[in-house]
Structure 1
Amino acid sequence: MDTAEMQAIADTLMRVVTPDMTPKQLIKAVKAQHPKVSKKDVVRAAFFSIIANAEGEHGKVKNLQAFAIAERTADEAA
């Protein structure tokens, strides 16, 4: 995944994430706009988005952080 693609997915994450969204719902919402993206790339873009938006959107960043950590932990356990 190149930087432009990661930025596009990160932008999508920031638009669609809500406090009550489950990881499955978040991945589904991103895949609706980026059909070929993998779950792993969504998690990477979430971490990218956390770093890029740390100063601003605190609520959304917190939700993305919880998602990214949970999904990364689930992948490592598998």
Structure 2
Amino acid sequence: MDASELQAIGDTLMRLVTPGMTPKDLVKAMRKEHPGASKKDIARAALHAIIANADQEPGKSRNLQAFALAERTQQSE
């Protein structure tokens, strides 16, 4: 995945994530807008979006952090 794809997925994540949204629901919503994105791509983009947006949107960044951690932990099991 190149930097522009990472940015596009991250922007979509910031737009779609809501408090209480489960990782499964977020992946489902993301796949509608980015059908070629893998869970790993989405998790990477979430980490990128956290870093890029932590100061402007701390609530969304926390939600994305929970998602990214859940996906990374799930993949390593």
**Size of the alignment, in residue pairs?**
77
TM-score (ref. length: structure 1):
0.96
- Whichever residue aligns with residue 13 of structure 2, its letter is L
Give the distance between the partners of 1:70 and 1:33, measured in 2 at CA: 21
SS in structure 2 at match of 1:72:
helix
Q: Using the TM superposition, give the Cα deviation of residue 3 of structure 1 relative to its aligned residue in structure 2, in angstroms.
A: 0.3
Residue 69 of structure 2: aligned partner: 69
Give the distance between the partners of 2:31 and 2:66, measured in 1 at CA: 19
SS in structure 1 at match of 2:8:
helix
Give the distance between the partners of 1:54 and 1:15, measured in 2 at CA: 14
Give the distance between the partners of 1:44 and 1:54, measured in 2 at CA: 15
Give the distance between the partners of 2:60 and 2:5, measured in 1 at CA: 20
Q: Using the TM superposition, give the Cα deviation of residue 20 of structure 1 relative to its aligned residue in structure 2, in angstroms.
A: 1.5
Moved over 4 A (4+): none
Residue 4 of structure 1: aligned partner: 4
Residue 42 of structure 2: aligned partner: 42
Give the distance between the partners of 1:66 and 1:39, measured in 2 at CA: 14
Unaligned runs of 5+ in 1: none
1:13-42 deviation line (CA, Å, top 9, x unaligned): 000000121101000111100111100000
SS in structure 2 at match of 1:68:
helix
